[in-house]
A and B are shown apart, each in its own frame.
Chain A
Amino acid sequence: MEVWRIDTANQKFGKEPVPAHWERLGGRALIARVLLDEVNPTCDPLGPNNKLILAPGLLVGHMLSSCDRISFGGKSPLTGGVKESNAGGTTGLKLVYLGIKTLLLEDAPKDDRWWVVYLNKEGATFEPALDLVGLGVYATAEKLLERYGKDVAIALIGPAGERLQLAAGIQNLDKDRVPSRIAARGGLGALMGSKHIKAIVIDAKDGNKPEIQDFESFKAAQKRFTKSLMEHPQTKIYADYGTNAMPGMSDGFGGMPTRNFSAGHFEGLDRIRGETMRELLLQRGGEAETTHACMPGCTIRCSNVYADENGKTIVSPLEYETVGLLGPNLGIDDLDAIARMNYEINDLGLDTIDIGAALGVAAEAGLMEFGDSKRAMELIQEIRQGTVLGRVLGNGAAVTGRALNVRRVPAVKGQAMSAYEPRAIKGTGVTYATSPQGADHTAGLTIRAKIDHLDPKVQAEVSRMVQINMAGYDSLGACVFAGNGFAGVPETIKQLIEARYGWEVAENFLQELGKTAIKLEREFNRKAGFTAADDRLPEFMRYEPLPPNNSVFDVSEEDLDHIFDDL
């Protein structure tokens, strides 16, 4: 495999061999390594010295169920620290077919021209993107598919990324060519926008499947992993309800963020929960689908197509985090309204979590009444129109809180929390506080652990363990839900890696990889100026009790400071 470099200042391209110390890293761990090696941690994230890094995980390229994710990274425009954000879809698979270990977008253009970067077996070419500038994500994808044919993968940004908005993400085509799989977090869409790249088109028709050193052993491990995954009880839950199986569980612990993180129970829960959504979709029929795969080969199929009363698609997929942040967090209990907002936010190329949290903060500031979905949609339209208020909101919850002088802002390191209240699910609070990524449930969610989620003493250990595993999966390119399969047959990770690459790796390769990723990320953040003071939840969560548990976040600062002492 190779390193491909794109010089966005001079529209040039080069390939080189992979440096030896990058070889055994992939996805999230590789991004941290590249950042430390090549990006000045104190650079301006939107300036020429930052790089946008695309890195498929180590297992990507084989249609191993739910293991073809692509990681995007760079110095985060949102947090100012290390950033990796990953997505499903087809981008990872096609990059690997072209033999790309990592793709680096470097420097920054000195004029105002915009480009599509087209990749094929020959290399990269720059094609003008003038006709695409200003277009939403859906229209852009349609035009690109017309131009380049239906077999390409595409990573693209919307108007928010072009305008360098800090909550902008990078969208990817799903297996049905819908640009819905977003590497949402941390403002990487703005980083791509700063390079004036509207889209990266990956044409792998002359590419090859990656070589497998020991095919028999790989197939045997794959079979065991797939069996374990299919037999896991959670697989069925995700297939039936998608991630929106979660509201009942979060609310059951009093941890459903409600009205800008001021309560943990939402009275309208029954109207938005996954059980209701499933019935609605089955009843509506037409284009509605309760189960759908985001990438070829996924056997879990946690995704869905949300359709209106006439069976016409509103958005695909509608996920729990979006339902949580645009629903209860705004006091809204109308799934159709949530789905419509989701579509608009996607089309702008923004992160629904940070925008949902920003709207919650705006409601707290008096710009909308909680529960008023019409007003929420108007505020989203302000982002599209680029009004001053819209430009504030498009930068996410932390900036919105500052601009509107709101103190209850659910963010860590400038990044908004997802739909788990850290005063009720305290282990996830530890993750929000201590993850080098900023508040992010995908960095280590603890809600499934059979512990007392309110006991401050037991949280750090659980969070630490999950954070390490998640950093490992993010480096393999494995979807979090594939983890259920690996949990039953953990030895298959070693077997798959050894068979694929011909290496010899440790039994606990997953954890080693995860530890390496977190260690490198912490190092980058330290050099960027982060200290222990950044590993904290917003202070109001320590003194403002959250009903109905009436609990505060009381995990000791000592636990937060020492969580990664022995990495």
Chain B
Amino acid sequence: MSEVEVTFQLHTVLQIQTPNGRLTSLPHKMRFGGTIADALRDLGLQINPDETLIVVNRQNVGLDYQPKAGDVIHLIPAIAGG
């Protein structure tokens, strides 16, 4: 139980930031008890926390959320309507 495997799902402009320009899904192994902030640091992903929704199991969570094994973590640059 020292490591958990999670997947980050990148939406819209966050995909453009990734090396091949359109990476949607980033699998990641992280320390059990680590937070989303830790994982983002390890992955070298920059997000603006005020302008990004972090959604796990269809719920807003914060950077301090501790992912569980198998979590899919959506990083969604916020927009206010469509």
Complex CA–CA separation, A453 to B60 (angstroms): 8
Complex CA–CA separation, A451 to B82 (angstroms): 19
Query: Are A252 and B74 in touch, CB under 8 angstroms?
Result: yes
Q: Knowing A424-B58, A450-B53, say if A233 contacts B12 (CB, 8 Å).
A: no
Chain A nearest Cβ from B34, distance in angstroms: 22
The 0/1 profile, CB within 8 Å of A marked 1, for residues 55-82 of chain B is: 1001110000000000000101111111
Chain B nearest Cβ from A244, distance in angstroms: 7
Complex CA–CA separation, A492 to B82 (angstroms): 25
Query: Are B15 and A245 in touch, CB under 8 angstroms?
Result: no
Q: Within B19-57, which residues are at the interface with A (CB < 8 Å)? A: 22, 24, 48, 51, 53, 55
Taking CB as reference atom, which chain B residue is nearest A419?
B82
Query: Are A450 and B60 in touch, CB under 8 angstroms?
Result: yes
Query: Are B81 and A248 in touch, CB under 8 angstroms?
Result: no
A121 contacts partner chain B, Cβ-Cβ < 8 Å: no
B contact residues, total (Cβ < 8 Å): 22
Query: Are A237 and B81 in touch, CB under 8 angstroms?
Result: no
* B residues near A275, Cβ cutoff 8 Å: 11-12, 15, 22, 24
Taking CB as reference atom, which chain B residue is nearest A480?
B81
Which residue of B22, B24, B80 has the most chain A CB atoms within 10 A of its CB atom? Answer: B80
Q: Knowing A248-B11, A248-B74, say if A237 contacts B58 (CB, 8 Å).
A: no
A127 contacts partner chain B, Cβ-Cβ < 8 Å: no
Query: Are A279 and B22 in touch, CB under 8 angstroms?
Result: yes
Chain A nearest Cβ from B13, distance in angstroms: 5
Chain A nearest Cβ from B55, distance in angstroms: 5
A474 contacts partner chain B, Cβ-Cβ < 8 Å: no
Q: Knowing A448-B79, A480-B81, say if A237 contacts B60 (CB, 8 Å).
A: no
Query: Are B81 and A243 in touch, CB under 8 angstroms?
Result: yes
Q: Which one, A245, A321, A419, contacts B79 given CB within 8 A?
A: A245
Main secondary structure of the interface of A (DSSP, over half): helix
* A residues near B74, Cβ cutoff 8 Å: 248, 252
* B residues near A453, Cβ cutoff 8 Å: 59-60
Query: Are A321 and B77 in touch, CB under 8 angstroms?
Result: no
* A residues near B53, Cβ cutoff 8 Å: 249, 252, 448, 450
* B residues near A441, Cβ cutoff 8 Å: 81-82
* A residues near B15, Cβ cutoff 8 Å: 275
Which residue of A233, A236, A252, A549 has the most chain B CB atoms within 10 A of its CB atom? Answer: A252
Q: Knowing A240-B13, A274-B12, say if A484 contacts B76 (CB, 8 Å).
A: no
Chain B nearest Cβ from A104, distance in angstroms: 30
A contact residues, total (Cβ < 8 Å): 42
Complex CA–CA separation, A254 to B55 (angstroms): 11
Taking CB as reference atom, which chain A residue is nearest B11?
A248
* A residues near B81, Cβ cutoff 8 Å: 243, 246, 441-442, 445, 447-448, 480-481
A308 contacts partner chain B, Cβ-Cβ < 8 Å: no
Q: Which one, B22, B24, B79, contacts A234 given CB within 8 A?
A: B79
Complex CA–CA separation, A448 to B76 (angstroms): 10
* A residues near B16, Cβ cutoff 8 Å: 240
Query: Are A246 and B79 in touch, CB under 8 angstroms?
Result: yes
* B residues near A483, Cβ cutoff 8 Å: 80
A176 contacts partner chain B, Cβ-Cβ < 8 Å: no
* A residues near B60, Cβ cutoff 8 Å: 450-453
Taking CB as reference atom, which chain B residue is nearest A453?
B60
* A residues near B24, Cβ cutoff 8 Å: 275
* A residues near B76, Cβ cutoff 8 Å: 248-249, 252
A320 contacts partner chain B, Cβ-Cβ < 8 Å: yes
Complex CA–CA separation, A565 to B26 (angstroms): 48
Q: Knowing A451-B60, A453-B60, say if A445 contacts B55 (CB, 8 Å).
A: no
Complex CA–CA separation, A410 to B58 (angstroms): 22
Query: Are A244 and B82 in touch, CB under 8 angstroms?
Result: yes
* B residues near A244, Cβ cutoff 8 Å: 82
Query: Are B79 and A548 in touch, CB under 8 angstroms?
Result: no
The 6 listed contacts between A and B (C-beta, < 8 Å) are A233-B51, A234-B78, A252-B53, A275-B24, A321-B82, A452-B60
7 more A-B contacts (CB under 8 A) besides A275-B15, A275-B22, A480-B80? A234-B78, A246-B79, A249-B53, A252-B55, A320-B82, A453-B59, A480-B81
Which residues of A are interface residues toward B (Cβ below 8 A)? 233-234, 236-238, 240-241, 243-246, 248-250, 252-254, 274-275, 279, 319-321, 324, 419, 424, 441-442, 445, 447-448, 450-454, 480-481, 483-484, 548-549
Instruction: Pick the 3 closest A-B CB pairs, nearest first.
Output: A320-B82, A246-B82, A243-B82
